[in-house]
Structure 1
Amino acid sequence: MGRPLRSEQVDRDEVSIVHAVQRCVRRAFLAGVDQATGKDYGFRREWIRRRMEALASVFGIDVLSYAVMSNHMHLILRNRPDVVGAWTDQEVAIRWLKVFPGRRMEEHLGEPTENEVQMLVSDRERLAEVRRRLSDISWFMRSLSEPIARMANRQDECTGRFWEGRFKLQRITDEAGLLACAMYVDLNPVRAAMAESPDQSVHTSGYDRIKGEQGQEIDSAAFDLVPVTTEQAGEERRTTPVDELREKKRAKGKNPTGKRIRRDGWLAPLTLDESTLSSDAQPNQAGVRASDKGFLGISLKDYVELLRWTAKQSEEGAGREIPPRLQGLVSRLGIDLSMWRDLVWNFQRYFGNSCCAGSPSGMSQFAESSGRNWVRGQRRVAECFAV
């Protein structure tokens, strides 16, 4: 049975949560140590994190969880057409032009002007398409992957593919699948023996949330969503040497807005506020992420405690007994307490070949909605859920 079409997995007019995986070509090093030369490219992980942070400030896409590994990256994303629908035409135009100015960045050194924004606003058909793209997960992944590939190829002095192909997409069907997937993503460095605990797993959402809760701040990578005047842009381009314009643009790229934010400030909040309506868009007003809407029915404190406990269960059969205070977080989702460690650590075994991830009932509902009788992994994952 083949995978469903992307259009079957995600309706871009409805809010959906997906697990996306992008791998480097031939699974070679992406941000790790090149075994041929011994050179460490670990610094590229920060390239990717900052690019994600920048895109989170302009797209109608919530970044729920992420992990940047040596040769691949994981993201859990939620598309927000409801948030994009609340933006004005001017907001849509400036957001799009910040990412896609219409020409290569080396040729277009200035910021989008008021005149360019107005031209896009006046093109109603084009603007409608741009509005749809700003909540499209495929466009988000394209905007993330392509610049990283160009930068890496330029640095390596080579051409050709950097990523092995289109990213893999997996629909998250319910909260049980989301909690297990979020833990799996945050624990990737621990599983790969790159870190001993989530507290040391740099370039993961778990690490960012832990440090953010401790008060750590970073320079914001969010785009400055203010267009310059046409006159100011023209004067600068006429009187400023190209090399100086390039240097100015590079300097501004380090902190476009001049603000500092909590390390996890650009990520979607973890805790879902049950008092808000499910249809409430909750758009972010600070310009650092799409919305202020959470995604899990647990507190950050409980999530981190469960994450740390699960990280310690690295050996098969070790520490099966979940601490009593945390048992309710797992059992309320129908997950067998004795199978929680196995569900997270062996997430790939249960869901690796499936087009979706979730409880057996959630996967069954997704199969029905996509015109199928069943999906891969549906029977196997039933082992992890209480009858």
Structure 2
Amino acid sequence: MTSARRTLIDAETTPFYHIINRCVRRAYLCGNDELTGKSFEHRRGWIVDKIKALSNIFCIDICAYAVMNNHYHLVLKIDIDKSKSLTNHDIITRWNQVTKGHEVATKYLNGDTLIEGERMLLDGLLTEWNERLSSISWFMRCLNEDIARRANREDECKGAFWEGRFKSQALLDEQALLACMMYVDLNPIRAGIADTLQASDFTSIQERIVELKTTSYKSTITLSERSTEEPLKSLVQLDGSSHLATESEAQSGIPFHFSDYLELIDWTGRAIRPDKTGYIDSSQPKLLNELGISADAWITSSKSFRRQYSGASGRWEAMCEFKKQHQHGKWCKGKSYSDALHPSP
């Protein structure tokens, strides 16, 4: 029996979550249908554009993504500090971009006087909307409904477009976050539809590389030559300025420098070979040495992270505690894989 989403996602425990959603029909989410010859590649852009637009509205940031032929992966970060800092005006204007809002909220925005009953109703709405603006469930609902409606209109059909509920994994520490982001970013490489990171279309690693090159180029031109268009919201930065292991900093960014991440993902992509498991032909990257993770354990994780765990990934003790608190002590999966990514000092 499936568990309630509120038992699977808890921003106070960790703000980072791996999300997977799969298309239910044989007609592809994206890619090319060999039977009909029809291309659905443009739908990849739908998904990327929508997650960026929703990230601007919700207090949820994008750490990594990969849009494949019949499914997509996201690594999301709930920005609790941002949610707490929203004013009443912010909450209403953001929520109005998702739904039609409420007439009482509109009166408040217009500066009209509210009677006592309307003020009480508004307080309840503000509390509810603020919670939803930091909810991955609502984020995914808005994303999936929009894509499903557009795809059904294009296919001239009705019915379910997605394969049930989206799946989520809580990422409880640095190793879990790093392994999951690497797993997501290398999806096209593993699937054999790309042979370089730059050619991995509609992935966060491609976007980060393009952004790096664009930033370097923009530094050589004058301010007047730059585009005046408002840029899309950037991915969460890998600046190495925080550590998830300390509770006081658990809401910060991604605790790795992009140069180290790029070195590791390039090395990992080259090491993933179909004819040899865990083949290594160069020295181990800096991040693996710092975390004490063996090359073989890392390559195994990069190939099959999704299947190694169930609802949570991290240190074994933390995984069991998460299951105990949020899923009533359900069986915890992945001890050997967890121990491999978290070697004893």
- Whether TM exceeds 0.5 here: the answer is yes
Residue in structure 2 matched with residue 306 of structure 1 by the alignment: 264
The answer (yes or no) to whether the contact 2:175–2:341 under 8 Å persists in 1 is no
Partner in structure 1 of residue 299 of structure 2:
341
Letter in 1 for 2:325: S
Could you tell me which of 283, 293, 308 is aligned with 1:323? 283
Once residues 319 and 379 of structure 1 are traced to their aligned partners in structure 2, the CA distance between those partners, rounded to angstroms, is 21
Match of 1:375 among 317, 332, 335: 332
Q: In 1, are the aligned partners of 2:16 and 2:77 still within 8 Å (CA)?
A: yes
Q: What's the CA shift for 1:14?
A: 6.0
TM-score w.r.t. the length of structure 1 is: 0.74
* One-letter amino acid of the counterpart of residue 270, structure 1: L
Q: Which whole-Å CA distance do the structure 1 matches of 2:305 and 2:56 have between them?
A: 30
Instruction: Give the match's secondary structure for 1:18.
Output: strand
Match of 2:234 in 1: 266
Aligned partners of 1:58, 1:47: CA distance in 2, in Å?
17
| Distance change (3 Å), C-alpha of 1:310 and 1:275 | closer
Residue 69 of structure 1: CA displacement?
0.7
Indicate how the Cα distance of structure 1 residues 212 and 153 shifts in structure 2: closer, same or farther if over 3 A, else same: same
* Residues 39 and 321 (structure 1), Cα distance of their counterparts in 2 relative to 1, 3 Å cut: same
Contact kept? 2:241, 2:256, Cα under 8 Å: no
The answer on 1:173 being equivalent to 2:190 is no
What RMSD in Å do the two structures reach over aligned CA positions?
3.0
Give yes or no for contact 2:20–2:71 (8 Å, CA) kept in 1. Answer: yes
In structure 2, the partner of 1:228 is none
Deviates more, 1:30-39 or 1:7-16: 7-16
1:32 aligns with 2:31: yes
Contact 1:83 1:281 in 2 (8 A): no
Shift of 1:27: 5.9
Q: What SS class does the counterpart of residue 99 from structure 1 fall into? A: coil
Q: How far has the Cα of 1:6 moved from its partner? A: 2.3
CA distance, structure 1, for counterparts of residue 188 and residue 35 of structure 2? 23
Partner Cα distance (2:87, 2:67) in 1? 33
8 Å Cα contact 2:242/2:253 also seen in 1: no
- Counterpart in 2 of 1:244? none
Q: Decide whether aligned partners of structure 1 residues 47 and 275 sit closer, same or farther in structure 2, where only a CA change above 3 A counts.
A: closer
Structure 2 residue matching 1:25: 3-state secondary structure: coil
Structure 2: state its 5+ residue gaps: 217-227
- How far 1:334 moved relative to its partner? 4.1
TM-score normalised per structure 2:
0.83
CA distance in structure 2 between the partners assigned to 1:342 and 1:13 by the alignment: 30
- How far did residue 130 of structure 1 move? 0.5
Q: Which residue of 2 aligns with 1:187?
A: 186
Distance between the aligned counterparts of 1:344 and 1:36, measured in 2? 32
After the TM superposition, which residues 116-131 of structure 1 pair with which residues of structure 2 at under 5 Å, given as runs?
Answer: 117-118=109-110, 122=119, 123-131=122-130
SS in 2 for 1:91: helix
How far apart in 1 are the matches of 2:57 and 2:250?
16
Deviation at 1:28, TM superposition (A): 4.4
Q: Distance in 2 between matches of 1:170 and 1:271?
A: 24
In 1, the alpha carbon distance for the partners of 2:18 and 2:127 equals 27
Gaps of 5+ in 1: 104-112, 218-257, 283-292
Q: Does 1:294 align with 2:253?
A: yes
CA distance in 2, matches of 1:349, 1:281: 26
Deviation string for 1:137-176 (max 9, x for gaps)?
Answer: 0000011110111111111111111111110111111111
Query: 6-15 or 272-281: which moved more?
Result: 272-281
Structure 1: how far apart are the matches of 2:198 and 2:18? 23
Q: Does residue 71 of structure 2 align to residue 101 of structure 1?
A: no
CA 1:27 to 1:83, structure 2 compared with 1: closer, same or farther past 3 Å? farther
Look up the SS of the partner of 2:202 in the other structure: coil
In 2 relative to 1, CA 321–204 (structure 1 residues): closer, same or farther, beyond 3 Å? same
- Deviations along 1:279-299, one digit per CA (max 9) or x if unpaired, are 5799xxxxxxxxxx521x221
The residue matched to 1:362 in structure 2 has which SS? helix
Distance in 1, Cα, partners of 2:269 & 2:199: 11
Contact 2:24 2:162 in 1 (8 A): yes
Percent same amino acid among aligned pairs? 37
Q: Does the 8 A contact of 1:368 with 1:374 survive in 2?
A: no
In the alignment, what sits opposite 1:362?
318
CA distance in 1, matches of 2:201, 2:109: 38
**Shift of residue 309 of structure 1?**
1.1
Contact 1:321/1:338, CA 8 A, preserved across alignment: no
